[in-house]
């Protein structure tokens, strides 16, 4: 749809990183919060947002989650506790900490899951967020999606300690690294971090090693990495691997089950596109609306 000119602005695809988002969010309760970055479409859907309204937001239509005003990088859905994708690198981290402060103050039992990328680990907000969360033992899990290249530069070229989870040591919190291409491993590690946060034991930094199949955005040809490297990571595709795991298990899955799922997903996507294309545009007068909160 982006290639057809249906989606404006930049579009940052989540293809390749699905196991991280799905595995981590599956460890939450419905009332828990998620704060994300601009590659947030998978997170928003995994948290339970209506696919039709997500697609309508990408199309900039009035029926979108944010009435078409947020677009690709600023999905937001209070009904599911998905409290934003943020285009500023690391910009969502202080907001996530604020939500955790509120949960701690209210003693409501909620945990905040904060997604960010490896590029955010070199921003000041990263250090400020981890430090404050640790000092106040806030109920938050920091989920670092390390897809190795930030915007387009390899982590090892810009970060003295490339094992980013080790930064947790400086803030007195556990730091863990997990295979971000394995949905079950991500779920297991995140579940333990969420339990720890919910019990009042403070934050955890989880570094999920993953890989985006496309460039930083649809406008990025990704010439800074080799096609051989891309092919190697695609052999570890999280969806294909999970399918193999299920077929090899004793849960009774068959190829027909997956064919049915594929068909259902295709129908959901087709309906979301139809809904978005047929939804109305906002009138020009709407530019003066949704400016101030009450």
Q: Give residue 222's pLDDT.
A: 87
Q: Using a cut of 0.85, tell me whether the model's pTM lies above it.
A: yes
Task: Give a yes or no: residue 2 inside a domain.
Answer: no
192-216 pLDDT tens trace: 999 999 999 999 999 999 999 988 9
Residue 289 lies in a domain: no
Q: Which domain holds residue 212?
A: 18-280
Q: Which pLDDT score, from 0 to 100, does residue 218 have?
A: 85
Residue 103 pLDDT: 98
Domains identified in the chain, total number: 1
Per the domain annotation, does 152 fall within a domain? Answer: yes
The residues with which 86 forms a beta bridge, in sequence order, are: 37
The domain that holds 91 is classified in CATH as 3.40.50.970
Instruction: Answer yes or no: is 5 within a domain.
Output: no
Report yes or no on 4 lying in a domain. Answer: no
Distance CA 281, CA 59 (A): 9
Q: How many CA atoms lie within 13 A of 293 on its CB side?
A: 0
- Low-confidence residues of the chain: pLDDT under 70: none
HEC-encoded secondary structure of 172-187: CCCEEEEECCCHHHHH
Please report whether residue 83 resides in a domain.
yes
Distance from CA of residue 178 to its chain's centroid? 16
**pLDDT tens across 241-276, in order?**
999 999 999 999 999 999 999 999 999 999 999 999
Within a domain: residue 285?
A: no
Which DSSP letter does residue 166 get? G
Decide if 290 is inside a domain. Answer: no
Q: Exposed, middle or buried, 23 (CB in 10 Å: 0-12/13-18/19+)?
A: buried
């Amino acid at each position: 749809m982006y290639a057809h000119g249906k989606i404006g602005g930049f579009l940052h695809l989540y293809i390749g990183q699905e196991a991280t988002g799905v595995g981590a969010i599956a460890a939450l309760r419905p009332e828990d919060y998620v704060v994300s970055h601009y590659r947030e479409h998978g997170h928003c859907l995994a948290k339970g947002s209506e696919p039709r309204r997500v697609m309508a937001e990408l199309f900039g239509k009035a029926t979108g989650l944010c009435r078409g005003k947020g677009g690709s990088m600023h999905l937001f859905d209070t009904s599911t506790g998905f409290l934003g994708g943020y285009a500023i690198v690391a910009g969502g981290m202080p907001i996530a900490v604020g939500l955790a402060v509120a949960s701690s103050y209210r003693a409501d039992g909620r945990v905040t899951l904060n997604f960010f990328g490896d590029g955010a680990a070199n921003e000041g907000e990263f250090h400020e967020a981890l430090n404050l969360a640790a000092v106040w033992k806030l109920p938050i899990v920091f989920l670092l999606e390390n897809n190795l290249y930030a915007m387009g530069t390899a982590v090892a070229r810009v970060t003295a300690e490339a094992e980013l989870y080790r930064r947790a040591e400086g803030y007195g919190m556990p730091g863990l690294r997990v295979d971000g291409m394995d949905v079950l491993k991500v779920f297991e590690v995140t579940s333990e971090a969420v339990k720890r946060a919910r019990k009042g034991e403070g934050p955890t930094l989880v570094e999920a090693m993953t890989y985006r199949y496309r460039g930083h955005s649809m406008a990025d040809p990704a010439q800074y990495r080799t096609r051989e490297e891309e092919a190697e990571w695609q052999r570890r595709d999280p969806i294909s691997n999970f399918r193999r795991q299920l077929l090899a298990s004793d849960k009774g899955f068959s190829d027909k089950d997956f064919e049915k799922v594929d068909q259902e997903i295709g129908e959901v996507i087709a309906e979301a596109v139809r809904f978005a294309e047929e939804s109305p545009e906002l009138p020009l007068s709407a530019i003066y609306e949704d400016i101030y909160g009450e």
